[in-house]
Amino acid sequence: MSILSRKSSSSRQQSGGAAPPPPPGRPADATASFVGEMLGAERKIEEDAGKLVRALEAIERDPKSAVAYYHLGILLEEIRGDEAGAETAYRKACELDPQYADAFINLGNLLKGDGILKGSEDVLQGVDRGRPE
């Protein structure tokens, strides 16, 4: 049970089962909308945490999986905004599979976005060198 649902059920119990009135100046439908948004955000956080856990479990099962490190990099970058962690994961994927073009591309784009142009150029050129013919 989530924090929000525990809190809302205890509030209903205290008021005899009825939902509490909306705060002054806020119509009832706006309060319901706000609660819905918060519950949606809580679900998204739980889903994202689950994705990160599954990626880490995949690495634990197969520490030499470039694909697992690549997906971890995506999750760290997109979900957590952890660019340093994403860079480490992408680099590990590139190290494990020097022909994994997607990992090189994501690493190069990440470095380019950080303004590390020389590093990104070297990485992106590595895609061409490592690409099977």
Range in 28-32, 34-38, 114-118 the model is least confident about: 114-118
Contacts for 125 with CB less than 8 Å, ≥ 6 apart? none
pLDDT tier at 20 (50, 70, 90 boundaries)? Answer: low
pLDDT tens by residue, 60-107 = 999 999 999 999 999 999 888 899 999 999 999 999 999 999 999 999
Q: Where residue 97 sits, what CATH number does that domain have? A: 1.25.40.10
In a domain, 19, yes or no: no
In a domain, 7, yes or no: no
| The model's pTM | 0.61
Which domain, by its residues, includes 108?
A: 29-130
Q: What percent of the chain clears pLDDT 90, i.e. is strictly above it?
A: 39
In a domain, 105, yes or no: yes
